[in-house]
Amino acid sequence: MRAVGAAALLLVFLVGPVRGQAGASTGLLGQVTDASGAAVPGVAITLTHVDTGRVRTVTTNASGDWEARFLSPGTFRVTFELTGFKTLRREGITVSTAEMASVNVALEIGTLAEAIDVIANAGMVSSGSMTVQRTLDQKELDSLPTSARNFTQLLVIEPGVSADISELLSNDNASISPSVNGARTTNNSFVFNGVDVTNLLCCNSRINGSSGTIDNGGGSLSRNVAPAPETLQEVKLQTSLYDAGTGRNGGGNFTLVGKSGTNSFRGSLYYYNQNDALMANDFFFNRAGIEKPILNRHEGGGTIGGPLIRNKTFFFGSYQRTQADTSFVDEASNTVLLPRALTDDRSDAGINAFAAAIWAPRHGRSTSTSSTPSRGSC
C-alpha cells in the first residue's frame, strides 16, 4: 500500500507581545533584599527576552516581592534598578513552560551608573511547586532518535510513563498515547501553544485491535497533531501534582510550545529516509518464507523565521512533506460473515432459525432440530 502525506504548510505571524503560548503559571518571581537581608520595595525590574527583544517591567512591593507571569518561554535578561543601589543585571535566566522559577537577589549600595553583571543561571529554583515534570528542549528534540520523528515517542523517558512502541512500518504520523502512572491512555490532556487541543483529532483510534471498539472520548494523543521536531521549542510533560490551572485529566499533562520568529533570520532544511534495504527481515517471517516488508519513507521540509519589525513583529513558517511506501495497513477492509438464516423475518420461526444457525457452529451441533424452542429461550 502507498500512503502519501499531504503537503502541510504552516505560516504563523506573531504580532506584538503575543502571550498565547504561555499560561499564568509560566514566568519568574523572586524577592529583592539589601546587604543586611531587609526587603527593598520600589525596585524597577526589567525583563528582556533575548531573542525577540520584548520587554516587561514590574516593581517590587512593600515586602520586596515581585512576579511576572505569562512570559514567553526562552532566555531572559533581568535588570534590577533603584536609586541608591548599584544596577544588577542577571543574564541567562531561562523561562520554561508551566513553571514559575525564583530569582532572588541582593542589591549593593551605590549609584545607578555602577552595574554588576551576573552571567549565569545558577541559583534558580522552582517556586516551591511539588509538580513532577520533565522538559524536552530543542537539543533533545533534535538529537533523540524516534522511528517516525514524533515527539510522543520521547515521552516514555519520564518515570511513570509507559506506552507501546509505534509500528515502524506505520504510514501515518505514528503518534502514541502513553499511560501515565497507570492511568488510561485516554486520560491525558494536551495543550499546544496555550490552546487545549486534547480532543482535536484524538477520538477515532481503536483501543482493542484492528477490529476492536472505537475510542470516542478522553484525552488520547494517538492520531492527534504531531508537529515536526524542527518547529518545536519545548515539550513539557507533567505527571503528577500539577495545579488545576494546568491539568484537566487525571493522567499526564503535555504542553507543547512552537518556535516563533526572532530578531535574527534563521532557517533550516532537512531530509530523512527510511529504507528496507538497510533492514533485516523479521526472524519469524524468514522461517515462514515471507518476504521482507516494504518500507521506503521520505520526509523532508524546512523552516524559516525572522523579524518583520525588530522587537515588535515576527514571523515563522514551516513546510513538511511525507511520502511512504509501506506494507503496513491499519485496516484496509472489513469482512463480516453472517449466517444465511439472518433475514427480515421476525416471527418465532425466523428468530428460532437464526438462533439455531449461530448456535450450531460454536457448539458443534447440527442446525436441524426436532424441538422448537420458545421466543424467550432464544
Rounded-to-integer distance, Cα 149 and Cα 138, Å? 13
Q: Provide the 10 A C-beta neighbour count for residue 16.
A: 10
Cα angle 224-250-126, degrees, rounded to a multiple of 5: 95
Give CA 133 to chain center in angstroms: 13
**pLDDT at position 217:** 47
Which residues make Cβ contacts (< 8 Å) with residue 123, sequence separation at least 6? 103, 104
Please state, in angstroms and as integers, the Cα–Cα distance from residue 75 to each residue in 55, 78, 121, 123, 377, following that order. Answer: 12, 10, 10, 15, 73
Q: 10-residue block means of pLDDT along the chain (378 residues)?
A: 38 42 79 94 95 94 94 92 93 86 91 76 53 78 81 82 73 78 84 79 49 50 79 86 71 86 92 88 86 87 94 92 76 56 75 70 42 37
Radius of gyration (C-alpha) of the chain in whole angstroms: 29
**pLDDT at position 195:** 81
**pLDDT at position 352:** 79
Rounded-to-integer distance, Cα 215 and Cα 208, Å? 9
Q: For the chain, which domains are there?
A: 2-11+131-326 (2.170.130.10), 19-126 (2.60.40.1120), 338-378 (no CATH)
Burial class (CB within 10 angstroms; exposed 0-12, middle 13-18, buried 19+) of 339: middle
Single pTM value for the model:
0.67
**pLDDT at position 19:** 46
**pLDDT at position 8:** 39
Length reported for the chain: 378
**pLDDT at position 77:** 94
Biggest distance spanned by C-alpha atoms of the chain: 109
